[in-house]
Structure 1
């Protein structure tokens, strides 16, 4: 499958990996039964990749930047929910650190893309 549009964006690729990781974590027996947290962290994770893709499809850089900021906020939401999952023993320290690291990478690449788009104008 060749990469075209939004699929070539590093932040989107990393968000796609995060989505898989979050789904894998939330399949664990204790986590899967906590419908509220399970569904919320999944939605927040999906929101990251979805907003990057949606923003890419918009007509202007200003609109793209708006959606990148929404994706960035969803990334922070996932981070907060990861802390809760760790605190209530749904995930291990290693699982927390691995997922948190991906969130950090996504945040940095989104920030870089926003700065690139802002400086372009």
Structure 2
């Protein structure tokens, strides 16, 4: 399956677009740069991982995407608190980011199980 067909990639891409649109008027370039980079990193790492050949590499990039979601959630909370982002908008994006993190967590567990099974197949007594 191509990464463009993955629902998690589609949703992460949509969230990144929402972050860009929501922060369009933010004048603080440092904040804006940081939050948009975190948002863009999520679908980008999902895509990069899916383009890798080994399952181990795929998992590594899913971990990067999950980490970027944690960064994004933090920045959304801060953005709401300092009134750069409307609170309701920020909370809706936080909810989506947390749902994506759960989905990615499940994907990671599934792929790590696959790695363990592959390694068990090569076990020599």
Query: Normalized against structure 1, the TM-score is what?
Result: 0.90
- Alignment partner, residue 10 of structure 2: 13
**Counterpart of 1:26?**
23
Whole-Å Cα distance in 1 between the matches of residues 38 and 75 of structure 2? 9
Corresponding residue of 1:56: 50
Contact 2:8 2:100 in 1 (8 A): yes
Once the two structures are superposed, the pairs formed by residues 66-105 of structure 1 within 5 Å of their partners are 66-105=60-99
Based on CA coordinates, which of the two structures has the bigger radius of gyration? 2
Q: CA RMSD in A?
A: 1.1
Shift of 1:39: 0.8
Unaligned runs of 5+ in 2: 116-125
The aligned length equals 115
Measure the CA separation in 1 of the matches of 2:108 and 2:54.
13
In the alignment, structure 1 segments of 5+ residues that lack a partner are: none
